[in-house]
Copies of this chain bind each other. A is one copy, B any other.
Amino acid sequence: MDWPVQVVDCLAGKIAVGETLTLKGWVRTRRDSKAGFSFINLHDGSCFDGIQVVADGSLPNYETDILKLGAGCSITVSGEVVASQGKEQALEIKAVAIEVMGWVDDPESYPVAKKRHTFEYLRTVAHLRPRTNTFGAIARIRNTASQAIHRYFHERNFYWVNTPIITASDCEGAGEMFRVSTLDLLNLPKDDKGGVDFSQDFFADEAFLTVSGQLNGEAYCTALSRIYTFGPTFRAENSHTSRHLAEFWMVEPELAFADLQDNADMAEEFLQFVFKAVLEERGDDMAFFAQHINPGAISRLENVVSSQFVRMDYSEAIRILENCGKTFEYPVQWGLDLQSEHERYLAEEHVGRPVILMNYPQEIKAFYMRQNEDGKTCAAMDVLAPGIGEIIGGSQREERLDILDAKMEALGLEKNLWWYRDLRRYGTIPHAGFGLGFERLLNYITGMENIRDAIPFPRVPGSAQF
């Protein structure tokens, strides 16, 4: 297939000065010179910048079309690559012909016309917001980070495993889960006790949207050694904060024959790999975020890439927080979970680079995390990054059947998760993994503050539009 030239190719100098070409895209701005010609800034989304097109007044449709072009119109430009007179770009296109493919219906009311809009407003036009500088840049960075994540794992013999979205195995408590059903709500089948008879539902059981692919991922890890998931997960929490989505993407690697130290090493290498790829491959978009959204956007990533992460025990972190002389909103005490303010103090003020906190009290952590020898803590870890706090959470998994059984029985999980304990009955192995919320990572990369702006079409309480 012949792939047409795009703006990114031109700006990269892949088409020599003097060559002719055809470009297709959308007008971002038009500026008319008094000397009887116009400058059109043409975008096609292939990179942050558009390319300047010079349209001479002698073009046959100059009066009828070109002088009517505005933001959002789609055009085909044929012309010659020439050296630019301006300072901004080295090259521009001298148009030989400009054809209009699509006008903008009522330009005055075009929802993303060239002017500043609030991010809140742009969420109401989520179908058009990728046409703006900010959301085009987020979309490209999201892709670059995604590709880097796949590449990181693929190069290290990890297999991408697509764990199920719909599940009848409840992992972390049904209260926060979405039910998936085809039952007729106005004619619900009932059982003897007056409850809903889910045996008549599509899956012959009560089914939910997954909150994590980890447990299924472990089944594949204990067969293929290295696997990762990268897919959508769900929380039915009624949280209206800038940090919660009902639907978000998670990355969850699971590594066989590994302990908590290996897990920490992998998390560090992984984050550095992804950030390095974004810095190297999306300099254009990152420059925009550093200039217009968050001045520290680039230096924050560079700092993570070049820092060695600090490892610290949870117990030591508690001592530091207790003795730091700072007043926190939430209490600091051994046995309590850390809040964002504590995490950020540790990463930002105490050490000034990423910290991996390890060995949390097992009471505040999940049943599958490996119990330490002290009987009080477990092999859990959180990676805390300056500017955001927790960015990764993980653990070594409990591989000893008797200890796992005791924990599962206490929570009543042994019936639904019979298959999970099989992984320890048959050739059990030490293994470890972590979970990364992908949108939270993107906010960290771009400096965007609301997680609703890190995913194309956010799902939150009260809205599943588009």
Q: Which of A130, A143, A169, A204 has the most B CB atoms < 10 Å from its CB?
A: A143
- Measured CB to CB, the closest approach of chain B to A101, in angstroms, equals 5
A105 contacts chain B at the CB level, 8 A cutoff: yes
A313 contacts chain B at the CB level, 8 A cutoff: no
Stretch at the interface among A88-96, A146-154, A343-351, A371-379: A146-154
- The CA of A143 and the CA of B146, in the complex, are separated in Å by 15
Closest Cβ neighbor of A177 among chain B residues: B182
Contact A147 B131 (CB under 8 A): no
Chain A 72-105: CB-based contact to B (< 8 A → 1; otherwise 0): 1110100000000000000000000000011111
Size of the A side of the interface (Cβ < 8 Å), in residues, is 116
Among B46, B150, B179, B207, point to the contact of A224 (Cβ < 8 A). B46
Among B105, B161, B420, B462, point to the contact of A456 (Cβ < 8 A). B161
A422 contacts chain B at the CB level, 8 A cutoff: yes
- The CA of A219 and the CA of B136, in the complex, are separated in Å by 12
Q: Which residues of B have CB within 8 Å of A128? A: 219, 223, 422, 426
Contact B163 A203 (CB under 8 A): no
Number of this chain's copies in the assembly equals 2
- Measured CB to CB, the closest approach of chain B to A391, in angstroms, equals 18
A293 contacts chain B at the CB level, 8 A cutoff: no
Closest Cβ neighbor of A129 among chain B residues: B223
Closest Cβ neighbor of A400 among chain B residues: B102
Among B3, B24, B165, point to the contact of A256 (Cβ < 8 A). B24
Contact B164 A464 (CB under 8 A): yes
- The CA of A179 and the CA of B169, in the complex, are separated in Å by 18
A220 contacts chain B at the CB level, 8 A cutoff: yes
Q: Which residues of B have CB within 8 Å of A247? A: 164-166
Given the interface pairs A150-B147, A164-B464, A180-B178, the reply to whether A456 lies near B220 with Cβ below 8 Å is yes
Contact B181 A178 (CB under 8 A): yes
Contact A219 B466 (CB under 8 A): yes
A305 contacts chain B at the CB level, 8 A cutoff: no
Considering only residues 133-182 of chain A, those with a C-beta below 8 Å from chain B are 135-136, 139-140, 142-143, 146-147, 150, 154, 156-157, 159-169, 178-182
Given the interface pairs A219-B130, A429-B24, the reply to whether A4 lies near B160 with Cβ below 8 Å is no
A127 contacts chain B at the CB level, 8 A cutoff: yes
A276 contacts chain B at the CB level, 8 A cutoff: no
A463 contacts chain B at the CB level, 8 A cutoff: yes
Contact B143 A160 (CB under 8 A): yes
Among B168, B182, B202, point to the contact of A465 (Cβ < 8 A). B168
Chain A 282-308: CB-based contact to B (< 8 A → 1; otherwise 0): 000000000000000000000000000
A25 contacts chain B at the CB level, 8 A cutoff: yes
Q: Which of A127, A146, A430 has the most B CB atoms < 10 Å from its CB?
A: A127
- The CA of A182 and the CA of B128, in the complex, are separated in Å by 30
- The CA of A267 and the CA of B130, in the complex, are separated in Å by 26
- Interchain residue pairs A-B with the least CB separation, the first 4: A45-B224, A102-B428, A130-B223, A203-B464
